[in-house]
């Protein structure tokens, strides 16, 4: 009988053994890989050292070990050792015994070939994770680099905006509408003057506006040919006349009138007004005498759970108003909101508009409001206007559009803002009550608020500052940068 092939599974591994031997009947016992070879019905065990080396056999099994010697498949062996297939059937016929090889193991490949495959797969997985990690890090670093580059660009834009603001503050007083159409000589000097004219025209309107209290340079591209690289917006307003200078409102008729107008505009009921005004006077004055019936000196503040001393002098921050009697227990008076939130019935709740913080500042040397830059709610508190919303809105609209202004030449080169009291009354239908004249200003006096915003690539950066012009330089009193 001839076998064409055998399949075995040893220790969890698949292995194929092909036994080929022509015309030789044999059996294979897989239990211990014992091979029994029979010839002509006779046989003998071939597992002892007494077996003669002269005995020969042809082993069809791959790499067998028998009698302490290793033999390879498809090889013939005789008494003198292995031959390359020259043994004859006659030589094989001399084998009249049946050799039996017990415990003949296969010469297998590395037992850990399966483990190596698993290790290789894990290695590939780990390497894949490392590659993904490196790719993610590279992507994040790329985004961070882009952000840092754009943020640095925005910072440069805001610094450029500060330079523009300083230039306007130092030169606005000398700007005139006539500078847009000067009479120049011919030739090279004329060309130079025209070039200077063009350069000056770029900022002339902002300078003229600043003469009347406020100016704005909107979305200016530092690189005109590449606006996508970012723009900067510069806004300058008078800081000492947009709101009432709180430290100048000492007890007197003028201060009483201004306080009354302010408290009426915010909607504070009359029963609370006296306490607020008298307590402010006591907080500001240097004496220890209680003002009116509802004032407060140290005796009141010493009895608080967390006592503190009265200021008895000018305040350094508008927020300090929250500390005085009449306001400390009702924060809505300063910030706006519901005055009496303890009331459950909404119909009896009192809502405060704006709050006192919208009307006061610590800057200013005169008790005046700049009609060209003050907000609507502040204009309503000017004595003479006295809460007249129609009049205040007419002033706001006229300074925005300049619909009723008179021009002398190039209208586009002249400011839309009010020049003086006469100009204001000519442009406002019905005029403005004369009582308001002492409390109105038309140009910045000393302090300026600067707001610069740089934008590029979806990132913005803003700087807000309060500055004062001293000779040929700008000095900053307050500086704040938003992230």
CATH of the domain at 328: 1.10.40.60
Do 378 and 236 reside in the same domain of the chain? Answer: yes
Burial of 44 (0-12, 13-18, 19+ CB in 10 A): middle
Residue pair 218/233 in contact (Cβ under 8 Å)? The answer is yes
Do 376 and 418 reside in the same domain of the chain? Answer: yes
From residue 370, give the alpha-carbon distance in Å to each of 193, 212, 464: 35, 8, 20
How much is the pTM? 0.61
What region, left, alpha or beta, does residue 243 occupy, with left being phi > 0 and alpha being psi -120 to 50 degrees? Answer: beta
Give pLDDT, residue 365: 87
Burial of 298 (0-12, 13-18, 19+ CB in 10 A): middle
Q: In the chain, how many domains are there?
A: 3
Q: Look at residue 361 and give its three-state secondary structure.
A: strand
Do 52 and 68 reside in the same domain of the chain? Answer: yes
89 sits in which H/E element: helix 89-93
Q: Which of 339, 358, 377 finishes a domain?
A: 358
The per-residue pLDDT for range 389-436, each reduced to its tens digit, is 999 999 999 988 888 887 765 555 567 888 899 999 999 999 999 999
Report if residue 31 sits inside a domain.
Answer: yes
Question: Tell me, what DSSP letter sits at residue 172?
Answer: G
Angle at 234 between CA 232 and CA 239, to 5 degrees: 155
Give pLDDT, residue 285: 93
Report if residue 142 sits inside a domain.
Answer: no
For CA atoms 61, 67, 71, 75, the dihedral sign is negative
User: What is the span of the domain harbouring residue 328?
Assistant: 246-358
Give pLDDT, residue 482: 82
Do 324 and 388 reside in the same domain of the chain? Answer: no
432 sits in which H/E element: none
Rounded to the nearest integer, the mean pLDDT of the chain is 76
Alpha-carbon Rg of the chain, whole angstroms? 51
Do 414 and 448 reside in the same domain of the chain? Answer: yes
Residue 41: φ, ψ to 5°: 80, 0
Cα gap 277→284, rounded to integer Å? 11
Do 407 and 353 reside in the same domain of the chain? Answer: no
Report if residue 195 sits inside a domain.
Answer: no
The per-residue pLDDT for range 294-344, each reduced to its tens digit, is 999 999 999 999 999 999 999 999 999 999 999 999 999 999 999 999 888
């Amino acid at each position: 009988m001839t076998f064409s092939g055998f399949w075995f599974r040893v220790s969890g591994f698949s292995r194929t053994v092909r036994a080929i031997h022509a015309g030789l009947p044999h059996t294979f016992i897989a239990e211990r890989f014992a091979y029994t070879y029979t010839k002509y019905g006779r046989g003998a065990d071939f597992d002892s050292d007494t077996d003669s080396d002269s005995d020969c056999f042809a082993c069809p099994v791959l790499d067998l070990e028998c009698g302490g010697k290793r033999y390879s498949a498809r090889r013939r062996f005789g008494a003198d050792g292995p031959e390359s297939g020259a043994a004859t059937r006659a030589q094989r016929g001399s084998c009249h015994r049946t050799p039996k090889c017990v415990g003949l193991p296969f010469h297998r490949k590395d037992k850990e070939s399966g483990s190596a495959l698993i290790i290789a797969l894990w290695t590939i997985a780990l390497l894949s994770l490392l590659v993904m990690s490196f790719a993610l890090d590279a992507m994040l670093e790329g985004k961070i680099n882009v952000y840092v580059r754009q943020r640095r660009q925005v910072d440069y834009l805001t610094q450029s905006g500060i330079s523009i603001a300083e230039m306007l503050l130092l030169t606005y007083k000398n700007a005139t509408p006539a500078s847009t159409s000067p009479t120049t000589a011919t030739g090279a000097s004329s060309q130079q003057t025209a070039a200077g004219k063009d350069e000056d025209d770029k900022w002339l309107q902002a300078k003229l506006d600043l003469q009347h209290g406020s100016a704005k340079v909107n979305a200016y591209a530092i690189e005109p040919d590449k606006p996508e690289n970012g723009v900067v917006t510069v806004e300058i307003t008078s800081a000492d006349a947009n709101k009432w200078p709180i430290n100048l409102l000492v007890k007197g008729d003028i201060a009483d009138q201004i306080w009354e107008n302010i408290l009426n505009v915010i909607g504070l009921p009359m029963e609370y007004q006296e306490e607020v005004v008298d307590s402010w006077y006591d907080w500001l004055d240097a004496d220890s005498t209680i003002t009116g019936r509802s004032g407060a000196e140290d005796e009141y503040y010493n009895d608080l759970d967390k006592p503190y001393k009265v200021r008895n002098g000018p305040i350094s921050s508008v927020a300090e108003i929250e500390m005085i009697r009449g306001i400390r227990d009702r924060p809505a008076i300063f910030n706006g909101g519901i005055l009496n939130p303890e009331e459950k019935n909404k119909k009896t709740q009192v809502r405060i508009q704006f709050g006192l913080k919208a009307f006061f500042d610590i800057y200013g040397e005169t008790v005046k409001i700049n009609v060209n830059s003050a907000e609507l709610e502040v204009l309503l508190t000017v004595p003479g206007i006295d809460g007249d919303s129609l009049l205040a809105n007419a002033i706001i609209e006229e300074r925005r559009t300049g619909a009723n202004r008179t021009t002398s030449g190039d209208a586009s080169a002249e400011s839309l803002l009010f020049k003086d009291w006469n100009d204001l009354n000519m442009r406002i239908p019905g005029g403005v009550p004369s009582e308001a004249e002492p409390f109105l200003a038309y140009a910045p006096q000393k302090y300026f608020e600067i707001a610069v915003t740089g934008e590029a690539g979806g990132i913005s950066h803003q700087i807000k500052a309060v500055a004062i012009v001293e000779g040929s330089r700008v000095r900053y009193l307050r500086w704040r940068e938003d992230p």
